[in-house]
Amino acid sequence: MRVALAGFNHETNTFNPRPTTLADFRGPLGTWWVGDQVTGAATGTRSVLGGMIDEGRAWGWDLIPIFFAMHPPTTGTITDEAVDAIRANIVDPIARGRFDGILLHLHGAACAENVPDPEAIILREVRCVVGSDVPIVVVFDLHANIGREWAEHANAIIGYKTAPHTDFYDRGVEGARILGRALRGEIRPVVALEKPPVLIKSGLMSMTTAPLALIKPPMFWLMSRGREMERETGIVNVSIAAGFGDADSATTGMTVLVTADGDRDLARRRARELARLAWRLRRGTQTELVLTPVETAIDRAIHAAEWPVILADQGNNTAGGSPGDGTAILAGLKAAGWPDAALFIADPESVNAAWEAGVGREVDLRVGGKNEPTNGDPVAMRARVRLITDLEVDFVTGDRKAHLGRAAVVRSGQTDVVLTQYPSTQTTPAYFRAAGIEPRDRRIVVVQSAHLFRAAFEVQERIPRMIIEVDTPGITSPNTTRFTYRNVPRPIFPLDDFAWEGADGD
């Protein structure tokens, strides 16, 4: 069996004013793998592609690597030029070859200038060139706005089941296994798709069972019911895309996808049941239930009997599209007299100033707040340079490195600020350790992350004694009412007050 392997990942926060260009995908933060580079880089890793490759080899396929592109979400809307190059790199080689099956890894939240759902276009064109009989299986990230068109072109569409994501590899294996069973004629996968009118931003999608996560957002309960359904005869996969309210697009919103074995009616009934459950649970996404104002959060952390306390900067979540230079918490730490704390800010100007001054010297800096108007003003600080270095950290799936570029650690009072050339999401303690900071030893550890940090910090290493989700401004704030949406289908909760007609039914 000849199976093509391809993909494209970008989670596009359309509120981020800086476009994502072709040069970005091909640049130091991007991934641009052509042909054998895909298998060369991803084989043996815990990524989705790593899982697809391992499982494909177990089935004895002739797995043909086509193309994979990726860029972190710290930049906004993708240029049409970049999307077109990606589309051509995926579709053209598939059109030239002959394939029995197609495996695609798409993020599901990509947005381009004039193409609201570029992944649907890629899927449509792949379907068009392979014809209707070749099974196509897609694996996506649950922070996704899946367009209705996806279900017309793919035979199975399966998403991550965890947030923080710990099942990249498992879903890659599952996607390849579903394709393998379809190719052998054991199953005939068909997908039903429902879109309950619920809008969630990325901060409120955690479904973690981590010990400090006392409140379980709706995604936790939806995923639990989905897992029950998967045990039912005839159901192949149940996936729930939480949606990505950080993109203002025509496909924005939650999506329920049920893949059944030949029985489209069964798939549709189960998808509708989950859509109704999502609607019933919608009020659990209200931010006032879970978020703490900056000043209160810092005060609680300073006076906590046990530490470290992790402050999770919700509005400045680089994994959800923030440029990584929000200053609300930095300003709060300054107002509190620079307590024992460590945090990251992407700010190449300040990095340069620290490099020029040199280790041991004092510098006057205006830190952060330079890339996006809602992210706070630059914070003036006089600081001593403790370290200058180039920073690189292994990415969580092991198939590439996170490049932070030139970096400097500067200290005011007892607060250490890690200034970096490029933004990063501190999802693991390794980021701090690479900068010479042991998070276990600090009273306050700030992460530019909504919830992805929990897997490594909380579950694996048990570092924090308390986690506070901080209500900062910035484009990744989970509070949808702070944003102006122009393209999202209306009505939608919580922007509109309405009764959903799909709330009752079969």
Per CB under 5 A, residues contacting Zn ion are 141, 143
- Closer of 71 and 442 to Zn ion (Cβ): 71
- Closer of 243 and 378 to Zn ion (Cβ): 243
Tokens of 407: 């970096």
CB of 459 to Zn ion, least distance (A): 17
CB of 207 to Zn ion, least distance (A): 12
- Closer of 143 and 270 to Zn ion (Cβ): 143
* Strand pairing category for 341-346 and 362-367: unpaired
d(CA 308, CA 443): 5
- Helix or strand holding residue 457 (H, E): none
- Closer of 143 and 272 to Zn ion (Cβ): 143
Distance of CA 276 to the CA centre of its chain: 25
- Helix or strand holding residue 242 (H, E): none
CB of 427 to Zn ion, least distance (A): 11
CB of 143 to Zn ion, least distance (A): 4
Q: Which of 212-221's residues contact partners 24+ apart within 8 Å by CB, and which partners?
A: 212/454, 212/458, 212/464, 212/466, 212/467, 213/451, 213/454, 213/467, 215/284, 215/289, 215/290, 216/284, 217/284, 217/285, 217/290, 218/278, 218/281, 218/282, 218/284, 218/285, 219/142, 219/163, 221/277, 221/281
Please, are residues 500 and 346 in contact by the beta-carbon 8 Å criterion?
no
Give the CB-nearest residue to Zn ion. Answer: 143
User: What is the side-by-side order of every strand in the sheet holding 466-470?
Assistant: 362-367, 379-394, 401-412, 415-420, 341-346, 444-447, 309-313, 466-470
CB of 9 to Zn ion, least distance (A): 10
- Closer of 246 and 340 to Zn ion (Cβ): 246
- Closer of 318 and 415 to Zn ion (Cβ): 318
CB of 247 to Zn ion, least distance (A): 13
- Closer of 143 and 282 to Zn ion (Cβ): 143
d(CA 298, CA 73): 27
CB of 112 to Zn ion, least distance (A): 19
